[in-house]
C-alpha cells in the first residue's frame, strides 16, 4: 500500500484521485475499527468528571469569593452553578440522543439553524475557545507542578509556560497514538483527582466536627450588590464546572449513546457539584476570606495547614487533576475540528484520520499548536472571562436549538425528552451571563471578541460558500503533502 502511495503522477488532480482511491476503500474498516475502541459508560462518566474537575476547583474559589463578597453567597453560587450545569447537560442529553453525531453544539446548530451559525461556532471554538481552554488548564498544571521547586517565591513565568507547552505536546501525542490509551489516561487521572477531593472533603468534615465553624458564621456579611459582579462570580464558578457538555463531542464514539449519554450526565455532574460545595466548605474551615483571597494556591495552603507533614500530596494530586482535565479537553477538541473539517467548514486535512492509529491526528495536532500559541501572552483570569463570554453565547444558542426543533423537527426520534421549561431557563441564564458583565463594566475586549466571531464570515463566503478555485488549487498540494507526511486518510462519508 505504501508503494502505491509513493507512485504519484505529476498531475495534481490525477494524483489526488489515485491517492485517495486506496484510502477510501479502507474508510469502512477505519470507521468500524474506531467504533470498537469506543467509550463505555464508566469511561463516559470519567470523561465528564475528569474534564470538569481540573484546575477550576483549585483556582476559581478565589475569584468566586472575590466577586460574591462573602462566604454564604459564595457557597450558594457554587451550588447554583452545579444545578445550572446539570440542567444544561440534560438539554444536551436530549440533543445528543436525537442527533447522534460527534461535534457537540456544532451538529445541533447545523441541524437547527443551517450552516452559517454552525460555521461561526466551529470557527470560534476551533480557533479560540478550545485551544484557549487547553492553554488555561495546562498553565494551571504548570503553576502547581513548578511551585514546590520555588518554595519562597512565585515560579518564573518562562518556567511555567515551558512546562505547560511540554504538557500539551505529551497530551497531543497520547491522544494521537490511541483512543484507548487516551481513555485509560483519563480514567487513571479521574481516580487520582477524586482521591484528592475525598481527602480534602474528609479533612473538612473532621475540622467541622471539631468546631472550626468561625468562618461560616455571619456568612452573608459583605455580599456583593453589583449586577455584573454576581455575573462574574458565576463566570468563574461555571468555569470550574466547564466540561459538562464534553461527552456530546464524541457521541459517535460512545457505546449505546441512547442509554449511556444521559446516564453519564445524571451520575457525573451531581457528583461533581457535591464535591465542589464540600471542598469550598473545607477551605473555609481553615482560612478566613482574606486568607483565601491572598493564597497563591488555595488547595496547597489548605494542605500546608491541615495535612502537614503529608502536605506534599496536595500539589501532587492537583497536578494529576489538571493533567487529566487537559487530556479530556484535548480528546473532545480534536473531535470538533474533525467534524467541522468533514463538513467543509475547516480545511479538509483536519477531517482526516490516521491510517495506523485510527485517531483524528491532524485535528489534535492543530488544537495543540494553537494552545501553545495562546500560552505565550496568557493571563488566566482574563482568559477565563473572555472564554466564558463567548462560550455562554453558544450555550444559549444551543439550548434555543432544542426549543426550535420541538416545532421544526417533530419527526425526529427523542429517546430523552426534557420539559421545555429547562431549555427556556438555560436561554435566559445564558443571556444574563453574556450581557451582565458587559452592562456592568463595558470593555473593548468584549467588542473584539464579537468582531472576531462575526469576522469568520469574511472567510466563510469565499472559501466555504463560493469555494473559489484558486484557494482549492493552493490547498490541494498542501493537503496531499500533509497527508503523506502524517499518513492520514479521508473518513467514511457520513452525509
Structural domains in the chain, sorted by start? 46-489 (1.20.1740.10)
Report CA Rg, the chain: 23
What integer pLDDT is reported at residue 224 of this predicted model?
A: 67
- Checking if the pLDDT of 61 tops 70, the result is yes
Q: What is the dihedral of CA 110, 353, 463, 474, to 10 degrees?
A: 180
Count of positions (residues) in the chain: 495
What integer pLDDT is reported at residue 32 of this predicted model?
A: 42
What integer pLDDT is reported at residue 257 of this predicted model?
A: 83
What integer pLDDT is reported at residue 41 of this predicted model?
A: 85
The pLDDT-based confidence of 383 (bands split at 50, 70, 90) is low
**Separation CA 149–CA 147 (nearest Å):** 5
The pLDDT-based confidence of 100 (bands split at 50, 70, 90) is confident
Q: Which of 6-10, 143-147, 262-266, 338-342 has the lowest mean pLDDT?
A: 6-10
Nearest to 425 by CA among 404, 401, 396: 396
- Burial environment of residue 26 by CB neighbours within 10 A (0 to 12, 13 to 18, 19 or more): middle
Q: Which of 51-60, 409-418, 439-448 has the lowest mean pLDDT?
A: 51-60
What are the tens digits of pLDDT across the range 305-333? Answer: 888 888 888 888 888 888 988 888 888 88
- Checking if the pLDDT of 3 tops 50, the result is no
Confirm if 240 and 81 have CB atoms less than 8 A apart. Answer: yes
Confirm if 301 and 159 have CB atoms less than 8 A apart. Answer: no
Q: End-to-end CA distance of the chain, in Å?
A: 27
What integer pLDDT is reported at residue 473 of this predicted model?
A: 86
What are the tens digits of pLDDT across the range 161-181? Answer: 999 999 999 999 999 998 888
Q: Average of pLDDT values for 140-167?
A: 86
Percent pLDDT > 90 in the chain is 23
What integer pLDDT is reported at residue 280 of this predicted model?
A: 92
The pLDDT-based confidence of 378 (bands split at 50, 70, 90) is low
Q: Average of pLDDT values for 109-127?
A: 91
Residues whose CB falls within 8 Å of the CB of residue 398, separated by 6 or more in sequence, listed in order = 91, 92, 95, 105, 108, 109
Confirm if 366 and 350 have CB atoms less than 8 A apart. Answer: yes
In the beta sheet, which residues pair with residue 118? Answer: none
What integer pLDDT is reported at residue 381 of this predicted model?
A: 60
CA atoms within 13 A on the CB side of 17: 5
Mean pLDDT score across all residues of the chain: 82
Phi, psi (rounded to 5 degrees) for 456: -60, -25
Amino acid at each position: 500500500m505504501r508503494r502505491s502511495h509513493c507512485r504519484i503522477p505529476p498531475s495534481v488532480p490525477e494524483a489526488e484521485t489515485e491517492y485517495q482511491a486506496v484510502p477510501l476503500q479502507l474508510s469502512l474498516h477505519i470507521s468500524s475499527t474506531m467504533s470498537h475502541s469506543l467509550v463505555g459508560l464508566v469511561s463516559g462518566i470519567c470523561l465528564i468528571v475528569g474534564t470538569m474537575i481540573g484546575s477550576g476547583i483549585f483556582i476559581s474559589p478565589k475569584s468566586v469569593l472575590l466577586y460574591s463578597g462573602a462566604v454564604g453567597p459564595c457557597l450558594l453560587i457554587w451550588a447554583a452553578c452545579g444545578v445550572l450545569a446539570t440542567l444544561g447537560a440534560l438539554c444536551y442529553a436530549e440533543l445528543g440522543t436525537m442527533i447522534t453525531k460527534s461535534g457537540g453544539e456544532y451538529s445541533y446548530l447545523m441541524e437547527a439553524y443551517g450552516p452559517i451559525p454552525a460555521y461561526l461556532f466551529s470557527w470560534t471554538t476551533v480557533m479560540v475557545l478550545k485551544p484557549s481552554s487547553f492553554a488555561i488548564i495546562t498553565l494551571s498544571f504548570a503553576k502547581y507542578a513548578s511551585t514546590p521547586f520555588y518554595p519562597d517565591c512565585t515560579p518564573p513565568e518562562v518556567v511555567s509556560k515551558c512546562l505547560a507547552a511540554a504538557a500539551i505536546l505529551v497530551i497531543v501525542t497520547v491522544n494521537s497514538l490511541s483512543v484507548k490509551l487516551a481513555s485509560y489516561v483519563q480514567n487513571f487521572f479521574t481516580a487520582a483527582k477524586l482521591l484528592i477531593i475525598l481527602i480534602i472533603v474528609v479533612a473538612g468534615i473532621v475540622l467541622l466536627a471539631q468546631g472550626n465553624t468561625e468562618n461560616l458564621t455571619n456568612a452573608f456579611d459583605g455580599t456583593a450588590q453589583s449586577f455584573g459582579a454576581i455575573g462574574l462570580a458565576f463566570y468563574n464558578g461555571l468555569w470550574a464546572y466547564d466540561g459538562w457538555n464534553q461527552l456530546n463531542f464524541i457521541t459517535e464514539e460512545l457505546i449505546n449513546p441512547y442509554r449511556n449519554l444521559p446516564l453519564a450526565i445524571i451520575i457525573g455532574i451531581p457528583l461533581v457539584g457535591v464535591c465542589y460545595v464540600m471542598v469550598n466548605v473545607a477551605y473555609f474551615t481553615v482560612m478566613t476570606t482574606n486568607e483565601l483571597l491572598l493564597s497563591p494556591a488555595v488547595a496547597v495552603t489548605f494542605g500546608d495547614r491541615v495535612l502537614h507533614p503529608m502536605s506534599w500530596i496536595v500539589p501532587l494530586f492537583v497536578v494529576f487533576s489538571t493533567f487529566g482535565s487537559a487530556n479530556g479537553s484535548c480528546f473532545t477538541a480534536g473531535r470538533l475540528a474533525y467534524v467541522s473539517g468533514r463538513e467543509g467548514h475547516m480545511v479538509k486535512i483536519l477531517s482526516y484520520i490516521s491510517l495506523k492509529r485510527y485517531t483524528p491526528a491532524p485535528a489534535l495536532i492543530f488544537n495543540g499548536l494553537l494552545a501553545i500559541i495562546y500560552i505565550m501572552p496568557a493571563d488566566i483570569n482574563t482568559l477565563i472571562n473572555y472564554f466564558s463570554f463567548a462560550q455562554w453565547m453558544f450555550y444559549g444558542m444551543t439550548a434555543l436549538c432544542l426549543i426550535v426543533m420541538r416545532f421544526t423537527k417533530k419527526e425526529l426520534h427523542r429517546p430523552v425528552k426534557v420539559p421545555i421549561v429547562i431549555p427556556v431557563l438555560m436561554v435566559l441564564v445564558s443571556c444574563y451571563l453574556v450581557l451582565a458583565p458587559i452592562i456592568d463594566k463595558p470593555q473593548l475586549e468584549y467588542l473584539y471578541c464579537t468582531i472576531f466571531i462575526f469576522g469568520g464570515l469574511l472567510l466563510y463566503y469565499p472559501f466555504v460558500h463560493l469555494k473559489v478555485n484558486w484557494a482549492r488549487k493552493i490547498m490541494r498540494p498542501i493537503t496531499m503533502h500533509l497527508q503523506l507526511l502524517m499518513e492520514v486518510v479521508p473518513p467514511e462519508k457520513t452525509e
